[in-house]
Amino acid sequence: MKKLYFVMALLIVASMILAACGASAPSEADCAKDDVFCVGLVTDVGKVNDKSFNQSAWEGVQKSQADGSADVVQFIETADAKDYAKNISTFADASYDVIVTVGFGLGEATAAAAKSYPDIKFVGVDQFQEWPFTEDTADDIANMTGLNFPEDNAGFLVGALAAMMSESHVIGAVCGTDVVPPVWRFGEGYKAGAAYADGMNATATEVQVVYHSDVGFDKTFTDPEWGAQTAKAMMDNGADAIFGCGGLTGNGAITAAAQAGKYAIGVDADQYLTLPEAAPRMLSSAMKLITPGVAELVAAAKGGTIEGGNFVGDAGYAPFHDLDAKVPADVKTTMEKIYAGLLDGSITTGVSPTKP
């Protein structure tokens, strides 16, 4: 009997091993196979857990795997801008099917890689492609798609909200460098939204917007101390609502505002969900729906329907969460009307695509 149990145990263990072998997930080594779809993401300078821009894009890649589009997903965090090309090539040389690069700063390196690896699809978040609009086809890159957003609309929405909720009639925005068009559109949209709300309500709001353009790309989005100090200076000048716009730098400003009991406004994602230290005072966030946008383009690449050029994602504003009861009903109604107007074109921000 003991021998029978021993044999049965061996058979069970063997079957478990065989099952495990048969169910093993594809690895990076399988990316060259036609039936294994691999997606790699290269961050801008920063981490995939920055609770903002890079993280939202990485969550989009992860969503593509959860949705069944991607078999293998991986990321490389960029520590220095000079490594952009090297990091992209790491995935390309490993035969990844799609490479997602995050941020305006990677635009040139991504375009160069797309030309060098024509069989790979490239998705550039915040990388506007000008070539579809010129008669010269020499620079056309059919395997590169820019994922872009109307950041000025999102900034406009939270600017209007901040102006309507401010008791001091002084609000602020702490942003990364305005050399990056999306950041500039956020900041200028914020100003325009506040002015629009003032026009509706016969108020006069002072809007302080500061861009961290005094440092290089390796620092502008990764400087939470500067963000916090700048936000504190604004609050010392009367600001009671602070919009943080620029990765970890903006997060520093948001957290400082929340700790001071002021209104905090996030960016890119719904930062109520990613910045718990600021959540109790998070009024809203200027949202770019990066996660679903990335996932949608990966699915299109898997299905063979992705097109080169530009893909415009959605933008909006996040719920009021813990502060919902403090937002008056008329403010909520006005926000809904402004959002609808931006969507149907009856309201425009007046912000140009790039800084003049």
**pLDDT, tens digit, 9 for 90 and up, residues 9-40:** 333 334 333 333 334 567 888 999 999 999 99
Contacts of 48 (CB under 8 A, 6+ apart): 41, 54, 55, 58, 75, 77
Tell me, what's the pLDDT at 346? 98
Q: What is the pLDDT of residues 90-148, one digit of tens each?
A: 999 999 999 999 999 999 999 999 999 999 999 999 999 886 666 676 678 999 999 99
What pLDDT is stored for residue 24 in this prediction? 58
The identity of residue 223, as a single letter, is: D
Can you give the pLDDT at residue 132? 66
**Average pLDDT of span 203-215:** 97
Banded model confidence at residue 356, pLDDT cuts 50, 70, 90: confident
Residue 4's pLDDT is 36
Would you place residue 353 in the very low, low, confident or very high pLDDT band (cuts 50, 70, 90)? confident
CATH topology of domain 32-148: Rossmann fold (3.40.50)
CATH 3.40.50.2300 domain range(s) in the chain? 32-148, 151-287+320-344
Instruction: Reply yes or no on whether the pLDDT at 5 is more than 50.
Output: no
Average pLDDT, the chain: 91
Rounded Cα distance, 312 and 76, in Å? 25
Considering the chain, what percentage of its residues have pLDDT values greater than 90?
84
Interatomic CA distance for residues 121 and 118, integer angstroms: 8
Collapsing DSSP to helix, strand or coil, 326 comes out as: helix
Q: pTM of the entire structure?
A: 0.82
Banded model confidence at residue 50, pLDDT cuts 50, 70, 90 = confident
Find residue 311's DSSP bridge partners.
147
CATH architecture of 151-287+320-344: 3-Layer(aba) Sandwich (3.40)
- Confidence label for 347 from pLDDT (cuts 50, 70 and 90): very high
pLDDT exceeds cutoff 50 at 61: yes
- Percent of the chain with pLDDT strictly greater than 70: 91
CB-based contacts of 143, cutoff 8 Å, min separation 6: 114, 117, 118, 119, 120, 121, 122, 308
The confidence score (pLDDT) of residue 7 equals 38
Residue 265 dihedral angles phi and psi, to the nearest 5°: -130, 125
Q: According to the model, what pLDDT value does residue 18 have?
A: 35
Distance CA 339, CA 317 (A): 9
pLDDT digits (tens, 9 = 90+) for 291-340: 999 999 999 999 999 999 999 998 999 999 999 999 999 999 999 999 99
Average pLDDT value for residue range 182-189: 96
Q: Looking at residues 196-221, what average pLDDT do you find?
A: 95
